[in-house]
Chains A and B, each alone.
With several copies, the nearest count.
Chain A
Amino acid sequence: MIPETNSNYNPRLVARQRMGRAWQIVFMSSTVLALIFLIVLMLNIINSAFGLVALENTIAPSELADEPLEALEKEALVGILADNIRRNAGRKLEREQRFFADTLAFESQEKWDEVCARAEAPEGCSSTPRDHANVLALVYERVVEQQVLETYPLWDSITRGDEIRAEIEAQHPGATVEFWSWLDRNFLTTPMSSDAALAGVRTAILGSLWVIALTILFAFPTGVGAALYLQEYAPNNWLTRIIQTNIDNLAGVPSILYGMLGLAIFARTLEPITSGQFLGVGSENGRTILSASLTMALLILPVIIINAQEALRAVPSSLRNAAYGVGATRWQMIWSHVLPYAMPGILTGTILAVSRAIGETAPLLVVGAATFMTSDPNSIFSKFTVMPIQIFNWTSRPQAEFRNIAAAAIIVLLFILLTLNTTAILLRNRFSTRR
């Protein structure tokens, strides 16, 4: 020990060091708590996305055929359909999409010709026939009519699987018990359905992609342009200050208000444009991908601008001086030095903003996402739904199995976001270490 020799001071070192250690534990625990929360959240979702389900079929597949249904030819499957559903329902299916290219399964040829001759011919008249998987799905949906009686979370399924099986045995004697992953290939590739067991997220994923692609197209150039204007060109006057203040404030406006803006302006006032009616195509109203994208673009624009400004501000003024010093014009300076230097920062900021946009729900809810949509979007004037809307929709439903597919959809969404965020972080780290 170094003794205190100055009698004017009494440092009480031991006590001070002890107090320091106590608080350090407090600080660390808080951090750990936040991490625990994240883990619990993830586990909770995984817990719901997988697990045992109790199933009951109206007709057991074994009663329909000797072999497993999957092994049957398409013709046989259509035969099963024809045997088990009402003819009207069959016709309806055929009008949506025909079963065979050459023959008709439910409709008579004359009736078919007549229907197809109408001005508004159904899609089935022109579409390619249903494939095997489609027909198989129809068999399950319409004939086997598998119903989910009960679902169990993963944790319970693992820890007390036998108990659960016994329980189900007791309550639903005819039911089968299966271990399901709610997240599977089918889930990703099938469209929405009102039956949780059959529903998928394809439409929503495609919707999200459309909306985001368009959003980036609108927001990125504008955002970078605005940032360049503010950082490199704007004179220091009232207008600039107003723009700046305004952008800062916009970044803090709750997202739902953007939704209201989108609703009032894009979906309603600009309906003729956003619906595509001015081109004679598209939907009946303005609640389209275009409206959604424009809304989203406005929403993330301030974020992009602010991030880009930050990145531009990080460009050392010495670099600008250097360029001027060798006789560069302003744009030469920006194009050759400022932008390349700031681009990683700008991209990082943009990716983060975009990943926020992907997860945004409220504004699109307000702009008018379709809550139930089975056909894929195919133009900017299509109706739309997106992943988070789908999740919200499923979460809000009372039936337990929708929670399970909501969880599965969440995993998909989180996976996309995680990928984007990781890209952003890697990008940032790579360029921050390079300097």
Chain B
Amino acid sequence: MVANTMTTEAPQRIATAKPVVAERTEKTGTGRLALDAQDVHVYYDTFHAVKGISLPIHEKEITALIGPSGCGKSTLLRCFNRMNDVVSGVRIEGQILYKNQDIYAAGVDPVAVRRRIGMVFQKPNPFPKSIYNNVAWGAKINGYKGNMDELVEKSLRQAALWDEVKDKLQQSGLSLSGGQQQRLCIARTLAIQPDVILMDEPASALDPIASSKIEELMLELKKDYTIVVVTHNMQQAARVSDRTALLWLGELVEYDETQTIFTNPSQQKTEDYITGRHG
């Protein structure tokens, strides 16, 4: 484990690297870093999927990862809570600092990491259990000691789902609509009270209405959580995120405040991608 200074100045070291990581005055967030990826490489067997990306994730902000299909967005995201460990044939290099610890250091239990850094997936994947148990299960296995009913209610409220399900907590989570299921999955993650929530295209399987609800929810959640979201939908990244990183063939092209990326990016590649002129 490496003791690293985790400050707003941290990204300085990247300034020398090619991708331009600009730092501006913060509008939201606390100004601290929640996670700090440092020169991360990921290989699938021999395929080099993520090529030395350094990406500071700011606390209580929404960071969006965008880029063309297959550029490594999901792979990078899954590094942040060691979900890649589940995939066979993956090799990861570099460090990801979380509270001054490298989560890839020897002796770190990925299960413990995932408990602090929750994840929401592309397709809503509630457990085939009751709504109540969907929320309670994660807390239970993590040895939650408080009042479970309260936790379930609180999590569902935070996920803006309580009013819709409070009368049918014992119904199966699968009986909900797609958008509700996704919010249930978010509630489930909130119930283990993580610091960071990773979301891999959380709205792409949903219709526009359900999708905008998730967006609104993300905006609500960033008051308390740090969110990293992968999205195919550039406009979605524009709408919700505070910072945006553009990946291309496993490399970081540009990382900056979202409004800069979308109004005045510094890289031509970003400009082309943003304006829909990706050839």
Which residues of A are interface residues toward B (Cβ below 8 A)? 1-2, 4, 6, 8-13, 16-17, 235-236, 316, 318-329, 332, 336-337, 340-341, 435
The verdict on A325 contacting B127 (CB below 8 Å), with A1-B108, A1-B109, A2-B108 known, is no
Of all chain B residues, the one with the shortest Cβ separation from A340 is B128
- Contact assessment for A316 and B125 in the assembled complex, using a CB-CB cutoff below 8 Å: yes
Write out, one digit per residue, whether chain B residues 236-274 have a CB within 8 A of any chain A CB (1) or not (0): 000000000000000000000000000000000000000
- Contact assessment for A11 and B127 in the assembled complex, using a CB-CB cutoff below 8 Å: no
Write out, one digit per residue, whether chain B residues 122-161 have a CB within 8 A of any chain A CB (1) or not (0): 0101111000000001110111111000000000000000
Name the B residues within 8 Å of A322 (CB-CB).
Answer: 121, 125-127, 185, 188
Q: A2-B99, A326-B138, A326-B191 known; 8 other A-B pairs, CB under 8 Å? A: A2-B109, A8-B144, A13-B111, A236-B89, A321-B119, A321-B121, A326-B192, A328-B141
Name the A residues within 8 Å of B192 (CB-CB).
Answer: 9, 326-327
- Contact assessment for B86 and A324 in the assembled complex, using a CB-CB cutoff below 8 Å: yes
CA of A353 to CA of B127, assembled, Å:
29
Of all chain B residues, the one with the shortest Cβ separation from A328 is B141
Task: From the candidates B103, B128, B142, name the one contacting A11 in the complex (CB within 8 A).
Answer: B142
- Contact assessment for B111 and A329 in the assembled complex, using a CB-CB cutoff below 8 Å: yes
- Contact assessment for B123 and A318 in the assembled complex, using a CB-CB cutoff below 8 Å: yes
CA of A260 to CA of B119, assembled, Å:
54
- Among A12, A321, A329, residue most surrounded by chain B Cβ atoms (within 10 Å): A321
Name the B residues within 8 Å of A10 (CB-CB).
Answer: 142-143, 145
B159 to chain A, nearest CB (A): 14
- Contact assessment for B123 and A327 in the assembled complex, using a CB-CB cutoff below 8 Å: no
Judge whether B98 is part of the interface by a CB distance below 8 angstroms: yes
| Number of residues on chain B facing chain A (CB within 8 A) | 43
The verdict on A1 contacting B111 (CB below 8 Å), with A8-B193, A326-B189 known, is no
B172 to chain A, nearest CB (A): 9
Write out, one digit per residue, whether chain B residues 150-192 have a CB within 8 A of any chain A CB (1) or not (0): 0000000000000000000000001000000000010011011
The verdict on A325 contacting B143 (CB below 8 Å), with A1-B107, A8-B193, A13-B112 known, is no
Name the B residues within 8 Å of A321 (CB-CB).
Answer: 83, 86, 119, 121, 125
Name the A residues within 8 Å of B139 (CB-CB).
Answer: 9
Task: From the candidates A16, A325, A337, name the one contacting B119 in the complex (CB within 8 A).
Answer: A325
Judge whether B32 is part of the interface by a CB distance below 8 angstroms: no
CA of A320 to CA of B87, assembled, Å:
12
- Contact assessment for B188 and A326 in the assembled complex, using a CB-CB cutoff below 8 Å: yes
- Contact assessment for A336 and B145 in the assembled complex, using a CB-CB cutoff below 8 Å: no
CA of A280 to CA of B114, assembled, Å:
57
The verdict on A327 contacting B125 (CB below 8 Å), with A2-B103, A11-B112, A13-B112 known, is no
- Contact assessment for B193 and A6 in the assembled complex, using a CB-CB cutoff below 8 Å: yes
4 closest Cβ pairs, A-B complex: A326-B138, A327-B115, A318-B125, A10-B143
CA of A17 to CA of B146, assembled, Å:
23
Judge whether B101 is part of the interface by a CB distance below 8 angstroms: yes
Judge whether B116 is part of the interface by a CB distance below 8 angstroms: yes
Name the A residues within 8 Å of B138 (CB-CB).
Answer: 326-328
